[in-house]
């Protein structure tokens, strides 16, 4: 991938100098409040939005960077929330949909702020100091590492498809081809995971992820 999630994590702004525990706890607290406060209390949601965007400003995270991430996240959130009105009374369904959109956006922006003021290795160390399960930390570390590996694999597969079709395919064919690519990527991911796990066990893997700060 051209950009990493924590590309601004090594800066020296006010937010970056805060204690790692403070940053993590504050983010989790804000997300918890955002997803539990009823949508009727819209002033609270407004205050949370102001806090999130003020934090982004203090961390000097570019607005263009935030908007690009939202442009990817919001369509997926919309597709998830649009199914609510169909299963509820019309008015209450749209209110629930709005609540899902607002809460999801606030939680996403807060999480995006966290990964850009705290390098990922520092996040793992902080979670361990807070006595989070080693299994969860290992899953998080491998997810972060192999997300980029699988993304590169997907880009190669997409490039190969374009080379074979010269980009001249209809929408239905493109959707069918994309589904096949995703299925093939999952199969390759499972095969890679088995090989990596076997190699790790052969090298004495004990289930604990270690970082340079330890």
pLDDT computed for residue 89 by the predictor? 53
CA–CA separation, 174 and 162 (whole Å) = 10
pLDDT computed for residue 130 by the predictor? 85
pLDDT computed for residue 119 by the predictor? 82
pLDDT computed for residue 86 by the predictor? 54
pLDDT computed for residue 2 by the predictor? 41
pLDDT computed for residue 50 by the predictor? 92
pLDDT computed for residue 146 by the predictor? 81
Q: How far is CA 171 from the centre of its chain?
A: 28
Whether the CB-CB separation of 134 and 207 falls below 8 Å is answered with yes
pLDDT computed for residue 13 by the predictor? 83
Name the pTM for this structure: 0.70
Owner of token pair 């850009």: 116
DSSP the chain: --S-TTTTTT--STTTTS-HHHHHHHHHHHHHHHHHS-TT-HHHHHHHHHHHHHHHHHTT--HHHHHHHHHHHHHHHHHHHTHHHHHS-HHHHHHHHHHHHHHHHHHHHHHHHHHHHS-HHHHHHHHHHTT--HHHHHHHHHHHHHHHHHHHHHHHHHHHHHHHHTT---HHHHHHHHHHHHHHHHHHHHHHHHHHHHHHHHTT--S----TT-
pLDDT computed for residue 109 by the predictor? 92
CA–CA separation, 142 and 197 (whole Å) = 11
Low-confidence ranges of the chain (pLDDT < 70): 1-6, 83-93, 166-169, 171, 209-214
pLDDT computed for residue 121 by the predictor? 80
pLDDT computed for residue 88 by the predictor? 55
């Amino acid at each position: 991938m051209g950009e990493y999630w924590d590309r601004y994590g090594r800066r020296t702004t006010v937010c970056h100098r805060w204690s790692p525990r403070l940053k993590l706890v504050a983010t989790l607290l804000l997300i918890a409040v955002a997803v539990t406060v009823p949508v009727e209390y819209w002033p609270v949601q407004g205050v949370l939005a102001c806090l999130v965007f003020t934090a982004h400003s203090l961390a000097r995270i570019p607005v263009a960077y935030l908007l690009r991430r939202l442009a990817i996240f919001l369509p997926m959130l919309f597709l998830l929330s649009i199914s609510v009105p169909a299963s509820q009374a019309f008015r209450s369904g749209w209110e629930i949909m709005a609540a899902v959109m607002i809460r999801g956006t606030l939680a996403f922006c807060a999480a995006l702020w966290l990964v850009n003021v705290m390098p990922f290795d520092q996040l793992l160390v902080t979670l361990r100091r807070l006595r989070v399960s080693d299994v969860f930390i290992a899953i998080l570390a491998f997810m972060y590492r192999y997300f980029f590996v699988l993304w590169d694999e997907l880009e190669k597969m997409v490039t190969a498809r374009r080379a074979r079709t010269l980009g001249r395919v209809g929408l239905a064919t493109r959707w069918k081809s994309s589904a096949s690519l995703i299925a093939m990527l999952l199969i390759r991911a499972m095969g890679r995971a088995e090989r990596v796990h076997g190699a790790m066990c052969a090298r004495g893997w004990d289930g604990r992820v270690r970082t340079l700060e330890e």
